[in-house]
Chain A
Amino acid sequence: MKYVKTALILAAICAVAAVVLATLNMVTEPAIEKYEEQKVISALESVSNGMDIGEMKAVDDGYVTYMYPLSKNGKTSGYILGLSSIGYGGELGIIASFDTDGLVMNAILVSDSETPGVGKKAEAKGYMDKFIGTGSASNPVPTSKSMLSDVDAAAVSGATITFTGITKALSAGSAFVRSL
């Protein structure tokens, strides 16, 4: 009988917690969904370089998960790709724009579980600047620290796995656009 009472008390505490959390989830869910949608929209706009963003198309090609065509004056001028890679703390979600030759125009790290102060520095403004304009045969996306300037190499020092994850995704994105 004692064990039944103990089990019932534990079950009651769990049930109350579940009801409170479920109610709060119902209340906060619309606001969270709206925020997440807004986050993706502003990320797309920030990498579009002022070009018109077309309809999304799902892609299943290694690092590339989806794409949006970019157009200027009705002519396709590039693509925004959703890229998924692996960093130090797990999955890295990157949104990057490429011109039709596969050169990186802009990139942003939108989701990650990297260590704050170390890998998470990749979220900072300016981190992706080192990749802009790369992606051609003569100027490939830097895939190792030796391909960076001393200043850029120092900036990624201590977070090499994050850097490698991002650079592999951008390199794959560049190759994907060139293959279109």
Chain B
Amino acid sequence: MKANIKELTKGIFKENPTFIIMLGMCPTLAVTTQLVNAIGMGAGVLFVLLFSNIFISLLKNVIPNSVRIPCYVVVIASFVTIVQMVFHAYLPSIYEALGVYLPLIVVNCIILGRAEAFANKNTVIDSALDAIGMGIGFTLALSLISIIRESFGAGTITFFAIGSWDGIIKVPFFNKWPIRVMTLAAGALLLMGYLKAFFNWNSERKARKAEEVKA
């Protein structure tokens, strides 16, 4: 049971797909201009990752090793298409909000990466827990980056609109004098560099502490 829980929590901090494994960088840099995009993308990835990991784990003894990647791509693309069609037909507001990110989930490296590195070697339950952990870790990472970028770059934090509330929180000072580069590609790369440096420093600090305790 403890080992199962570890599969769930590792994706959130220790093996965070964005800050530690550095997978799925393209959507990370592209969608983090607004918090609402980050949450939408994260939710979509979590759903597809969960089902693709479950199915790939179930089929791991059936799929021949030489064609495993094409098989994974078929499974992943099918789930993305299912999500896209169901959302378009029955949840059009979420479909519109996610826009181009829904089809882009097919090429998200996290999904193929987890299928290859985890789901094809582990049990269905462990694969599902790994997917949930990685999905939450990805969503949290995207949310952190987007909150910083949107606050500094546009002076707002944008959630989903609910009823009469437009979902926009205005950030004092930056709302009047935004640092526009933060919403552009250069700002995304700059921030990603600083956050990666922070997480590297934090990992090294923890490793040093563990060594000191051992000694």
Contact = CB atoms under 8 A, between A and B. Distances in A.
A13 B82 CA distance: 16
Interface string B56-90: 00010011101100110011011001100110111
Nearest to A7: B67
Interface string A2-25: 000111011001100100110011
A178 interface: no
Given A9-B67, A20-B82, A35 B100 contact: no
Contact of B33 (A6, A13, A29, A115): A115
Interface residues of B, number: 33
Contacts of A158: 180, 183-184
A118 interface: yes
Nearest to A6: B64
A13 B75 contact: yes
A120 interface: yes
Nearest to A28: B89
A116 B90 contact: no
Contacts of B101: 116
Given A9-B63, A25-B85, A28-B85, A120 B99 contact: yes
Contact of A116 (B77, B92, B99): B99
A153 B34 CA distance: 20
Contacts of A116: 31, 33-34, 37, 99-101
B30 A115 contact: yes
A17 B78 contact: yes
A9 B85 contact: no
A149 to B, nearest CB: 17
A83 to B, nearest CB: 20
A10 B74 CA distance: 9
19 contacts: A5-B64, A6-B67, A9-B64, A9-B67, A10-B64, A10-B67, A13-B63, A14-B74, A32-B88, A32-B89, A35-B88, A89-B100, A115-B30, A116-B31, A116-B34, A116-B100, A117-B154, A118-B33, A158-B184
Report the 6 A-B pairs with minimum CB-CB distance, sorted nearest first.
Answer: A117-B33, A31-B89, A28-B89, A17-B78, A117-B34, A6-B64
